[in-house]
Chain A
């Protein structure tokens, strides 16, 4: 018997070429996670460059970047923000006081304060992943723009995509080592 010594690193690839920015990800997430009406764990950004008629536009489905060196975790005074399975950053609601230190620390504006008083954000649907299911946004995405998986497993779809496609990451200057990859 061989021990799997390489830890899982859950990551997501967002294909900006396929994505049409329809927000089905944001809404599937909202329904799956029973979010408050004003709460979003994922959202769509469109960035337009140029002037008429020489234009370019990028559409990105965004969410928490699940950083490996997360500013929210290091800035959390109560230890509510923590690394969970596969490196996913979670918030322990029972420990969170809603102080917003994490909201301020996050370079990606990925968090909001839930009306019940705790900081909330994408969990990579760990409750589903632990049951062997897909994350809700990726499972529903009509354009199959979202690929979730263990980036440390060379056989995984995401590892293959990261090998085969060009990608970029957002705001790497912050040094937080994000685990979201935008395929370009």
Chain B
């Protein structure tokens, strides 16, 4: 038997003892040349691609050594990562090598939701999926089949639905996330904010965050610019019931009462207009409805807002002056996850109107107007469908929604909930049990389906509810379509495999194409290799595909993005001006200028449930990642330290920091056990959870049983009447002791 290294050292130490005894001291060792340890994680080659650990899609370099990905680093040539990636991005190799990955296609062999499956061949799984999709098409028409999608790889399945003939393509990222924001900005300025958001954090001199916890949400480039702005001395005003990371860096932290942001925004406008601190020249030149706005906010004084928001009038006045003092480079950050209370479009309108008063739209350090590099669409047959989406009960509902509502598509699956019923789902990359509100309703919808298939990398809960599970390759093992977003530094980025697909996983493009073939619509996929599509598009964009794939990205010419650059501002609204007062909203029966309406408050003994992000995780998608879990391996419920002292049921022994408790909501729904974080850093009327924990899927061997799921507790939501968003911060919970 060869010596192990440790045995060798023991022998060496014994020899050293002899040496010491013979008069040599331990200094003898220091005469030795010590080697500098080299972990040798540099790849034998490096593959540039872009990340999919979240939707930000940063350019990365995958180091590959002997066919294994050793590490992921930022691509310095990519404008979104600038050579630096967020913690989640560093965990991509741990996703690739996650032992719990879906490894083979699966067919359900028990009741839906019982997670009993049989591993089958791809041809068996695809045949079954196509057979069911074909049956639904024949029996009810193609519109009865829906696609839920999240992530860049979803484009292949969107194409499949276009070929199949269904308009029911929905992403929870709209009605459960950024939808109200983009509708509000379209109403106000004629365009939404897109992704990455068209804001100029880097050059802002004052940044106001309302509920946005930048730094805890790691939209990489935004956080980079945030730090850059702080480094240059930018001031922060943070409005948040929680003392967030950003709040700790702020000149002003306003611990607002949850649900009252519109009142604060109106009071700020009141001060800024009353004291003539707005950009009068800008407003006169570009905006319409200023007189109506002035009249509207005349009574919305800081004194009016104080009892509503809990922020003293003087503090409101002081912060209004402070924010206005830096205009136009005073950025009222638009946030991203905007679905809070059901009046979210109006709140985001108030953000937009305030930005307009500050003259910060179209100005450096405010909202900028970038454009994308030309990247022509791959030619092919046009989408065909005879129907409108089934995502609302009557077509007249939510008149200003400009995308399909995922929650509505889910509802339309339950009989009698829509003008027509949906009977089949394809679910790509979104764990609907956590991404839609009220999982009980989602369960009900699933049980009403004729067929459901999920395409995913990991066995998220939704796969356990599926009839067929199709294991997709991770982003490090596949091609996806090229990307050319509107950004101040325009670029086109490409995704390419760093290694071959592991197990029996397949790239999304292959799965979609195979299904199209079996459904007889492969004339919509007149290519066999995704490089045909990508290379065609790159060439049409006058780029050399070889060069783009070599670098992972190609930059375009910068163009003016703000007035200071020489950009002429124009507004694609009905009046061709910034609409402080929206005739469109008035015509649709909504307040043309945002109004504050009170929301239900938590009953005695209960807290409002708020949720957010941790920098190391993306929703529930990364919670099984052992590498990322080594830093943050379960969520905690934040409870104010004073409130923790007077909890019902804790009279004999107060709640301890770190004690496991459960949360019970107003409908008697209980969470899994979750650790209490007793802290000064949150108001006493709300508790806070990082979203995405509390998994129940047996296949998620690491994540299962860790922390609590906020989604389970979101059994109620307030629907935004303007665009159908589901405001989810309207649930109340009590704290229940479980430890003896």
Q: For A85, list chain B residues within 8 Å (CB).
A: 36
Q: Is the CB of B34 within 8 A of A90?
A: yes
Separation of A56 and B32 alpha carbons in the complex (Å): 48
Q: Is the CB of A21 within 8 A of B10?
A: no
Q: For B220, list chain A residues within 8 Å (CB).
A: 142
Stretch at the interface among A2-10, A30-38, A150-158, A170-178: A30-38
Q: Is the CB of B615 within 8 A of A23?
A: yes
Q: Mark B198-235, 1 if CB is under 8 A from A, else 0.
A: 00000000000000001110101001101110110000
Q: Is the CB of A20 within 8 A of B616?
A: no
Separation of A87 and B631 alpha carbons in the complex (Å): 29
Separation of A58 and B214 alpha carbons in the complex (Å): 16
Separation of A34 and B91 alpha carbons in the complex (Å): 12
Minimum Cβ distance to chain A for residue B236 (Å): 11
B16, B27, B28, B640: the one contacting A52 at CB < 8 Å is B640
Q: For B243, list chain A residues within 8 Å (CB).
A: 48, 52-53, 55, 57
B10, B91, B223: the one contacting A97 at CB < 8 Å is B10
Interface size on A, residues (CB 8 A): 57
Q: For B227, list chain A residues within 8 Å (CB).
A: 18-20, 142-145
Chain B 646-700 residues near chain A, CB threshold 8 A? 679-684
Chain B 383-410 residues near chain A, CB threshold 8 A? none
Secondary structure at the A interface, as helix, strand, loop or mixed, is: loop
B27, B37, B87: the one contacting A79 at CB < 8 Å is B27
CB of B195 within 8 A of chain A?
Answer: no
Minimum Cβ distance to chain B for residue A99 (Å): 9
- Which B residue's beta carbon lies closest to that of A53? B255
Q: For B681, list chain A residues within 8 Å (CB).
A: 48, 52, 55, 57
Q: For A50, list chain B residues within 8 Å (CB).
A: 680
Q: For A93, list chain B residues within 8 Å (CB).
A: 37
Q: Is the CB of A33 within 8 A of B615?
A: no
Q: For A32, list chain B residues within 8 Å (CB).
A: 39, 41, 71
Separation of A84 and B223 alpha carbons in the complex (Å): 35
- Which B residue's beta carbon lies closest to that of A25? B87
Separation of A56 and B85 alpha carbons in the complex (Å): 28
Chain A 90-136 residues near chain B, CB threshold 8 A? 90, 92-97, 116-117, 123, 126-127, 130
Q: Is the CB of B72 within 8 A of A24?
A: no
Q: For A21, list chain B residues within 8 Å (CB).
A: 215, 245, 615
CB of A160 within 8 A of chain B?
Answer: no
Minimum Cβ distance to chain B for residue A156 (Å): 18
**CB within 8 Å for A140 and B9 given contacts A22-B615, A84-B36, A90-B37:** no
CB of A169 within 8 A of chain B?
Answer: no
Minimum Cβ distance to chain B for residue A49 (Å): 9
CB of B447 within 8 A of chain A?
Answer: no
Q: Is the CB of B39 within 8 A of A18?
A: no
Q: Is the CB of B39 within 8 A of A78?
A: no
- Which A residue's beta carbon lies closest to that of B683? A52
**CB within 8 Å for A142 and B70 given contacts A20-B615, A22-B87, A26-B631:** no
CB of A162 within 8 A of chain B?
Answer: no
CB of B84 within 8 A of chain A?
Answer: yes
Q: Is the CB of B616 within 8 A of A55?
A: no
Stretch at the interface among B349-357, B622-630, B723-731: B622-630
Q: For A84, list chain B residues within 8 Å (CB).
A: 34, 36
Separation of A90 and B33 alpha carbons in the complex (Å): 12
Q: For B230, list chain A residues within 8 Å (CB).
A: 17-18
CB of B5 within 8 A of chain A?
Answer: yes
**CB within 8 Å for A140 and B680 given contacts A38-B630, A97-B13:** no
Q: For A57, list chain B residues within 8 Å (CB).
A: 243, 245, 248, 681
Contacts A/B (CB < 8 Å), 12 sampled = A18-B231, A20-B227, A28-B85, A32-B41, A34-B70, A52-B680, A52-B684, A79-B30, A92-B32, A95-B12, A97-B9, A144-B228
Among all A-B residue pairs, the 4 with the closest Cβ atoms: A79-B29, A20-B215, A143-B227, A57-B248
Where the two chains meet, the residues of A that have a C-beta atom closer than 8 Å to any C-beta of B are: 15, 17-24, 26-28, 30-34, 37-38, 40, 48, 50-53, 55-59, 77-80, 82, 84-85, 90, 92-97, 116-117, 123, 126-127, 130, 139-145
- Known pairs A17-B231, A95-B29, A142-B220; list 16 more (Cβ under 8 Å): A22-B616, A24-B87, A32-B41, A37-B627, A52-B640, A52-B680, A57-B248, A77-B26, A78-B13, A79-B26, A82-B34, A84-B34, A95-B32, A140-B90, A144-B224, A144-B227
